[in-house]
Homo-oligomer: A and B are copies of this chain.
Amino acid sequence: MATKRTSREATISDIAAAAGVSKATVSRVMNGVATVNEEIAQRVRATVAELGYSPSATARSLSLGESRTVGVVVPDLANPMFHQVLHGLNRAAERDGYRVLVADTQEHSDAESETVLDIRNRTDAIALFAPRMSREKLLELLPNISPVVVFNRTTGKRAGAVLIDYADGIGQVARHLIALGHTRIAYLQGPPQARSNMARQDGLDLVSEEHPDVDIVGVPCGSAFEDGYGAWPAVRETRATGVIAFNDVVALGFLGRLSEEDVRVPEDISVAGFDDIPFSRYSSPSLTTMTARLGDVGERIWTTLLAQMRGEADLEPTMFAPELAARSSTGAAR
């Protein structure tokens, strides 16, 4: 018959009316409940196809009391390190029949809490990546968004937590350079408010204590390509022979600058990054960095989330230990 061309989408009532059955029957057909006369089921399916009906997930979620969807809030989708974690999380969630919805706050930190709440209120749980959020705000937020797992933040068991041992990791890089004979090392600092930067500082402080003969000097930098690129003058001033960047992105930006300045790596200067983003293997020279099994991190975030949803909340933080991936950008001190 004449297909409705109105603006409104078809609803279950439309299908029920058109097929001459009740809403309950349509619902049963849509959900594959077996107890429906095959002839009627056929008719319903035909009507569904004809009217291009697909059930409102919103109404379904409200009725069921769950959406089978989890939210992920990240500060910047462009950060390659998130991708690997997201990938693991996505795969694991999918395996258990859940959908992952990602919201990018674009470092827009004042609206961050609001975004998190909104996402949480349309999903069953949330994974929170908020490296810059103040601890105060975080702790205020957590009780209102459970089930929740935070990445790389401590919560005093107020929420699930999965973290990477940055302090230990950066220590490994530093010792790697020291073993290569470097005694003057520059650290290209990340954003001062970032927890991951603080952890790295702590790790370097420890190394400094162990090696009084080694100078580790901090250079204010950032977390983007251009920050690394722009750090060269400051680094040159330190006369460091080894450079540890906040992350691979910074290291690669820095490497790009060194190439322009005809500074040889690692002959003149050694450079190391952190995170082992996919590209770090393919830079020239390939980048020495810290690698963590980020896919597993994502998977772990998922299992922690799922446990909470099932009421088996285990709020003991999980710590992942990164490993050194020594490649061509580091060598003996000149």
Interface residue ranges, A against B (CB under 8 Å): 2-3, 5-7, 52, 54-59, 61-65, 67, 69, 77-78, 80, 83-84, 86-87, 90-91, 94, 99-104, 106, 108, 115, 117-122, 143-144, 225, 228-229, 252-253, 255-257, 259-260, 278-279, 281-286, 311
Contact = CB atoms under 8 A, between A and B. Distances in A.
Nearest to A6: B311
Contacts of A120: 54
Given A2-B63, A2-B64, A103-B102, A86 B77 contact: yes
Given A58-B122, A64-B2, A259-B285, A99 B78 contact: no
B87 A83 contact: no
A56 B121 contact: yes
Contact of A117 (B54, B65, B260): B54
B91 A99 contact: no
Contacts of A229: 282
Contacts of A86: 77, 104
B67 A77 contact: no
Contact of A101 (B65, B103, B121): B103
Given A54-B120, A58-B122, 18 more contacts: A2-B64, A2-B65, A5-B65, A52-B144, A54-B117, A54-B144, A56-B122, A57-B121, A62-B62, A77-B86, A77-B102, A87-B106, A91-B106, A99-B115, A101-B119, A229-B282, A252-B282, A283-B283
A311 B107 CA distance: 33
A122 B71 CA distance: 13
A222 to B, nearest CB: 14
Contacts of A101: 101-103, 119
A-B interface, 7 closest residue pairs, ranked by CB to CB distance from nearest: A256-B282, A259-B284, A57-B121, A57-B122, A2-B65, A78-B83, A102-B102
A279 B229 CA distance: 11
A283 B311 contact: no
Given A101-B103, A143-B52, A122 B61 contact: yes
Contact of A103 (B6, B62, B64, B100): B100
A284 B259 CA distance: 6
A121 B86 CA distance: 23
Contacts of A64: 2-3
B281 A225 contact: yes
A122 B122 contact: yes
Nearest to A144: B52
A112 to B, nearest CB: 13
Contacts of A117: 54
A58 B62 CA distance: 6
Contact of A102 (B56, B80, B104, B118): B104
A64 to B, nearest CB: 7
A57 B63 CA distance: 13
B67 A78 contact: no
A56 B282 CA distance: 46
Nearest to A91: B106
A130 to B, nearest CB: 17
